[in-house]
Amino acid sequence: MPQTAHSPQHSASAPALALTIAGSEATGGAGAQADLKTFQELGVFGIVALTCIVSFDPEDDWNHRFFPVPTEILQQQLDAIQGDYPERLRAVKLGMQGSPEVIRTSAAALRRAAWDHVVLDPVLICKGQEPGHALDTDQALKAELLPLATFTTPNHFETEQLSGMTVRSVEDLTAAARRIHEISGAAVLAKGGMHLPGPDAVDVFVDGDTVEVLSAPKIGQSGVSGAGCSLAAAVTAELAKGATALEAARRAKEFVRAGIAQAVEGRTPFAALWQGGLRSA
């Protein structure tokens, strides 16, 4: 390969790198847009391989319209990225995959390289997808991606699905997070969000013998778009910079709390998290 003026030395202040393999969400609340903004905000050089394009439909109650990126095109993106940074890229986040074929393509790319951190946001359903199709996607995600994850961030629904347990309390959430940790070997940050009763938004972190309940007052009455994506992206960014899994979970929760407090209102039913929340907190 030809040497260029800027290879092969990297300055000591060069940023850490992080890749997200995720979908586009056009209004800028969720998906790859949220991931990239989060990476940038936390001082990490962000890279995207796009899996699908989601556009909410203003004429149909903002339901999701979903267009999958053909797997050859995802492969081309991954080839470019992995060819460019064969050694430096050690942290990846997996967001919405959307189909079993995309999951297999992502899993194969992950197996081709050595990773320090594989953060799985196990996005299981997206409105606008066929239920049968979504079930295949769920099974492929469990079979192909969960075993590769070093950290996973399931929401309430995904925690129930992945653990096979019902979650109605913090104790249930803890038991389910432990189960997912046993199945996957990954650090687990299971999110109660707005789904558990009480004044606080409670998440449970489980890794080996460490169990920590992370709690912060709920803000508003409904969820905010991009909260799950930004949380997992913030975990990925902090891990890429060298944080421990527990430190990454704590900082990510703080990042998301500040972003929800200053969410951006539009016409969709959910406001969008502002990734700059900590700057003006």
* CB-CB neighbours of 215 under 10 Å: 16
**Which lies closer to ligand PXL via its Cβ, residue 28 or residue 147?**
28
Asked if 77 contacts 49 with a C-beta cutoff of 8 angstroms, the reply is yes
Q: Which of 103, 123, 145, 149 binds ligand PXL (CB under 6 A)?
A: 123
Asked if 199 and 217 touch (Cβ cutoff 8 Å), the reply is: yes
Q: Which lies closer to ligand PXL via its Cβ, residue 95 or residue 193?
A: 95
- What does the alpha-carbon distance between residue 186 and residue 183 come to, in Å, rounded to a whole number? 8
Q: Considering the complex, state which of residue 170 and residue 231 has its C-beta at the smaller distance from ligand PXL.
A: 231
Total length of the chain: 281
Residue placing its CB nearer to ligand PXL in the complex, 124 or 170: 124
- Consecutive H or E run containing 184: helix 170-184
Nearer to ligand PXL, 106 or 174 (CB): 106
Interior angle at CA 53, CA 51 and CA 54, nearest 5:
125
Q: Is residue 102 close enough to count as binding ligand PXL by CB under 6 A?
A: no
How many Å apart are CA 57 and CA 93, to the nearest integer? 27
CB of 174 to ligand PXL, least distance (A): 24
Window 14 to 73, contacts with ligand PXL (CB under 6 A):
22-25, 30-31, 54, 64
For position 259 contacting ligand PXL by CB under 6 A, the verdict is no
CB of 270 to ligand PXL, least distance (A): 9
Instruction: Work out how close the CB of 233 gets to ligand PXL at its nearest, in angstroms, rounded to a whole number.
Output: 11
How far is the C-alpha of 18 from the C-alpha of 240, rounded, in Å? 7
Nearest approach in angstroms of CB 229 to ligand PXL is: 5
Tell me which of 100, 228, 259, 277 binds ligand PXL, using CB under 6 A.
Answer: 228
Interhelix angle for 170-184 vs 156-163, to 10°?
50
Residues 128-157 that bind ligand PXL (CB under 6 A): none
- Give the residue with the Cβ less far from ligand PXL, 25 or 144: 25
Contact at 8 Å (CB) between 37 and 279? Answer: no
Terminal-to-terminal C-alpha distance of the chain? 47
Could you list the residues that contact ligand PXL (CB under 6 A)?
Answer: 22-25, 30-31, 54, 64, 95-96, 123, 126, 228-229
